[in-house]
Amino acid sequence: MQFLKDAKYTLHVAFHPFDGFWDLKYENKGKLRIALTILFGVTVMMILKRQYSGYVVNFNYPLDLNSIDELKYIALPFLLWCVANWSLTTLMDGEGKFKEIVIATGYAMLPLILIYLPNLLLSNVISLREASFYYLLESAATLWFVWLLFIGTMTVHQYTVMKTIMTMLLTVVVMGIIIFLGLLFFSLIQQFIGFVYTIYQELSLRA
Amino acid sequence: MIIFGLSPKSAQASPYQGYTYSYWGEDVKSPIAYLPSRTITGQELGIGPFTTPSDMFASSDGNLYILDSGNGRIVVLNSEWKAIRQIQDFDNNGKQDSFNKPEGIFVTGGGHIFVADTENRRVVVLDGNGTFIREIGAPKSEVLSDKFEYIPRKVIVDKAGRIYVVARGVFDGIIEFDSEGEFNGFIGTNPVQFDPVDLFWKTVSTKEQREKMIRFVPIEFNNADVDADGFIFTTTADKKTSVPVKRLNPSGIDVLRINGEWGPIGDLSRDRSAFIDIDVSDNGVYRTLDSTRGRVFTYNEDGNLLYVVGQLGNQLGTFKTPIAIESFGNRIFVLDRDLGMITEFTATKFGRLVNEANGLYSIGKHDDAAKLWEEVLKLDANYEMAYVGIGKSMLRQGEYKQAMKYLKLGNDREYYSKALTKYRREYMREYFGIYMTIAIALIVIVMAVRRGLRLRKGGMKQHAVSQGR
């Protein structure tokens, strides 16, 4: 029952973001499990979307579809965003804790489910000429999501508007830096392992 | 031995593989559409070997005109491949004249032979027996610069008698002469194309440096053919261009139909195909000859790849330096310059079916075509064109749901969408009544239940009030 109540509250956040995000942080109404459920929901939604959108708007090569890939496209960026945002706001005196960032980001993704689901059904009955409505709704979902993310970030960290925009842009940059460092790390590890293995081979062949 | 016997083996061995490209740009194996049937050289004809032959022309009466460039002669073969005529010298107003490394030949419906006599810088017109009629020299006009050098390589003539010459080093397009041999102008200029990187270096370099750089010039045409409606097909060998094939209308505007993602560009690989000849056959089908891999790509009028024939190699049916392509009926001829040899390809069952089905399809007889497309699908279940053909036929017959299925398999979104619109309307017409009844019934029930609840609540309230009194 509590879960249902929390789930219903996500709608309140989506439609009344200022009020909603405030309560998430200060009235302790935000639940981590709800945020993660939304994340999971979005992932499932994207998988369904790729597979089942109407042929008229579906340009995916069926043999390339892989549900595991959605981790790469949704779960990883989500995690990266949260980590990057947290690392950045800690330095830029933001008031948000990591948990609060995860919750705000998770709740902000709700519109993606809210719009994509009816859009998915719609896409199966529209023709090419009506496809622009489909794309209109798609962009509406994205804009709504960005809007919520903006309000969420602003509320969680108690920032001004300009500072929020700056932080969000910088977060994207930091995400890029994290990916770069990650790749560098893996590349170095790989080289190192290769080096050790060659030495081992050399020794074992000589002995 | 047993294993060998069991392994699938093609009925006739072929030195190349048949394939087409799918909607997704992946090469898909397909049955071989044409097989090499015979080859012929000059020695076999008993007239001495061909020396760097450069062009040929299959005329409408089935004769094949070969321009034996190195020997300066025209060899005419009949459909049984017997040399019926050789044209070497001709009488040019009283003095003996001959060709000097000619590169292009064209024969009109009336039997007149046009030869682009390259090194003599002229176009020679002969009648069917090789008697000289006239010659057309370099174009004269104020628009041409003094340094203009006229090196005609290919010549074609349209129905109205206008003469089009593809010349080397001419970037302005194809040179057009009227039927009297007067210079009309250029048509179909290619746009200038350049690399953004080159442009960047050009803008940052000094004037002296810039003068030493290559100039950005339009790509020149390298070959041309004319179709039954008088439209000119041209090719460019440049590997960077995205439109190597053009179909020019009389005012020189490209009207080639490109249906789908790729258009007629040959192989979809990094090392692009370079088209050196084009041949237009019936129903808007055209074949291009690629010198990169020695393949013949056949496209229909919508720019869909029908099949691919040939390859570079040294077996029967492969080429060393393919230079010219012609087709007649269900046969394709490819001329090899260095080998001095013509290879004839004959359509297989698959090739004939595709040709026939596509022919009916292009004149709009979709229902007749659909029957043949079904035969094609029996031989090649991956042939997308066939699915589209069947789908369009079903769309006409009103089988919208089936049409949607086939058009989806053929990856034709436009017609799929048309079928969907029709199907949607049909579906709604059929089920509108039922759905509306259900909806109204639901609304009525909901209202009734609500009213019932309210009555009950009101009754209880009343009851409470009456109790309290």
CATH number, residue B342: 2.120.10.30
Residue A101 tokens read as: 């960032």
The C-alpha atoms of residue B326 and residue B55 are separated, in whole angstroms, by 9
B22 located within any domain: yes
Are A127 and B414 an interchain contact pair (Cβ–Cβ within 8 Å)?
no
The C-alpha atoms of residue B40 and residue A69 are separated, in whole angstroms, by 57
Are B420 and A61 an interchain contact pair (Cβ–Cβ within 8 Å)?
no
Answer whether B50's CB lies under 8 Å from B42's CB.
Answer: yes
| Residues of B whose CB is below 8 A from A129 | 417
Mean pLDDT over residues B357-385, rounded?
92
- Identify the pLDDT of residue B12: 56
* SS3 assignment, position B72: coil
Taking the CA of residue A196 and the nearest CA in chain B, the distance in Å comes to 38
CB proximity list for B411: less than 8 A, separation 6 or greater: B22, B23, B384, B388
Taking the CA of residue A53 and the nearest CA in chain B, the distance in Å comes to 13
The C-alpha atoms of residue B17 and residue B29 are separated, in whole angstroms, by 8
Query: Of A61, A125, A128, which has the smallest distance from its Cβ to B413's Cβ?
Result: A128
Q: How far is CA B71 from CA A29, B48, B50, B133, in A?
A: 94, 10, 7, 21
Give the pLDDT confidence of B45-94 residue by residue, as tens digits. 888 899 999 999 998 888 999 999 988 899 999 888 888 888 888 888 88
> Domain count of chain A?
1
| Residues of B whose CB is below 8 A from A125 | 420, 424
Amino acid sitting at position A203? L
B239 close to A (CB below 8 A): no
Task: Report the run of H or E that residue A205 belongs to, with start and end.
Answer: helix A161-206
Angle at the Cα of A50 (from B403 to A145), degrees rounded to 5? 130
The residue segments making up the domain with residue A151 are 2-206
Are B413 and A125 an interchain contact pair (Cβ–Cβ within 8 Å)?
no
B55 located within any domain: yes
| DSSP designation for A128 | G
Amino acid sitting at position B367? D
* SS3 assignment, position B60: coil
Q: Counting beta carbons within 10 angstroms of the beta carbon of residue B242, is it exposed (0 to 12), middle (13 to 18) or buried (19 or more)? A: exposed
**Please, which residues bridge with residue B57 across strands?**
B65
What is the b/e burial string over A79-88, where b = at least 16 CB atoms within 10 angstroms of the residue's CB? bbbbbbbbeb
Query: Considering Cα of B195, then B196, then B197, then B200, what sign does the dihedral take?
Result: positive
Q: Counting beta carbons within 10 angstroms of the beta carbon of residue A131, is it exposed (0 to 12), middle (13 to 18) or buried (19 or more)? A: middle
Query: Of B408, B418, B421, which has the smallest distance from its Cβ to A55's Cβ?
Result: B408
Q: Is residue B465 scored above 70 in pLDDT?
A: no
Task: Report the run of H or E that residue B465 belongs to, with start and end.
Answer: helix B413-468
Q: Is residue B4 scored above 60 in pLDDT?
A: no
For the whole model, what pTM was predicted? 0.82
Give the pLDDT confidence of A185-201 residue by residue, as tens digits. 999 999 999 999 999 99
Answer whether B344's CB lies under 8 Å from B333's CB.
Answer: yes
The C-alpha atoms of residue B249 and residue B76 are separated, in whole angstroms, by 31
Number of helical (H) and strand (E) elements in chain A, helices listed first: 9, 0
In Å, how far from its chain's centre is CA A128? Answer: 30
The C-alpha atoms of residue A186 and residue A68 are separated, in whole angstroms, by 21
Pick the residue from chain A with its C-alpha nearest to B424: A125
CB proximity list for B56: less than 8 A, separation 6 or greater: B64, B65, B66, B67, B105, B324, B326, B333, B335, B342
Taking the CA of residue B425 and the nearest CA in chain A, the distance in Å comes to 11
A122 close to B (CB below 8 A): no
The residue segments making up the domain with residue B251 are 11-347
Mean pLDDT over residues B19-43, rounded?
90
B65 located within any domain: yes
Number of helical (H) and strand (E) elements in chain B, helices listed first: 9, 27
Highest-confidence segment of B127-141, B180-194, B307-321: B307-321
Taking the CA of residue A122 and the nearest CA in chain B, the distance in Å comes to 13
Is the confidence metric ipTM above 0.85 for this complex? no
Closest by Cα among B131, B125, B142 to B179: B125
Interface test with A, best of B416, B417, B425 (most A CBs within 10 A): B417
Closest by Cα among B57, B70, B59 to B98: B70
B427 located within any domain: no
Q: Which of residues 23-82 of B touch A (CB under 8 A)?
A: 24
B413 close to A (CB below 8 A): yes
Taking the CA of residue A40 and the nearest CA in chain B, the distance in Å comes to 31
**How does DSSP assign B248-305, residue by residue?**
E-TTS-B-----SSS-S-S--SSS---EEEEEE-GGG-EEEEETTTTEEEEE-TT--E
Half-sphere exposure of residue A173, counting CA atoms within 13 Å on the CB side?
7
Number of A–B residue contacts, CB under 8 Å:
19
Angle at the Cα of B82 (from B81 to B84), degrees rounded to 5? 125
Taking the CA of residue A56 and the nearest CA in chain B, the distance in Å comes to 6
Q: Is residue B218 scored above 80 in pLDDT?
A: no
Rounded to the nearest 10 degrees, the angle between the axes of helix B384-397 and helix B349-362 is: 40
Query: Of A56, A61, A125, which has the smallest distance from its Cβ to B413's Cβ?
Result: A56
Sequence-separated contacts (24+) of B125-133 with Cβ below 8 Å:
B126/B87, B126/B90, B129/B85, B130/B74, B130/B85, B130/B87, B130/B90, B131/B90, B131/B91, B132/B90, B132/B91, B132/B92, B132/B93, B132/B97
B416 close to A (CB below 8 A): yes
Instruction: Report the percent of chain B where pLDDT is more than 70.
Output: 94
Instruction: Report the percent of chain B where pLDDT is more than 90.
Output: 43
> Domain count of chain B?
1
| Residues of B whose CB is below 8 A from A127 | 417-418, 420-421, 424
Are A127 and B420 an interchain contact pair (Cβ–Cβ within 8 Å)?
yes
B363 located within any domain: no
Give the pLDDT confidence of B172-214 residue by residue, as tens digits. 888 999 988 888 888 887 777 677 887 788 788 888 887 777 6
Pick the residue from chain A with its C-alpha nearest to B420: A127
Give the pLDDT confidence of A131-158 residue by residue, as tens digits. 999 999 999 999 999 999 999 999 999 9
Pick the residue from chain B with its C-alpha nearest to A130: B417
- Identify the pLDDT of residue A105: 94
Q: Is residue B448 scored above 90 in pLDDT?
A: yes
| Residues of A whose CB is below 8 A from B413 | 55-56, 128
- End-to-end CA, chain A: 70
Mean pLDDT over residues B17-33, rounded?
91
Are B413 and A55 an interchain contact pair (Cβ–Cβ within 8 Å)?
yes
A160 close to B (CB below 8 A): no
B20 located within any domain: yes
Q: Is residue A19 scored above 50 in pLDDT?
A: yes
Task: Report the run of H or E that residue A52 belongs to, with start and end.
Answer: helix A32-52
- Identify the pLDDT of residue B61: 86
B384 located within any domain: no
Give the pLDDT confidence of B251-288 residue by residue, as tens digits. 888 888 888 778 888 898 888 899 999 999 888 899 99
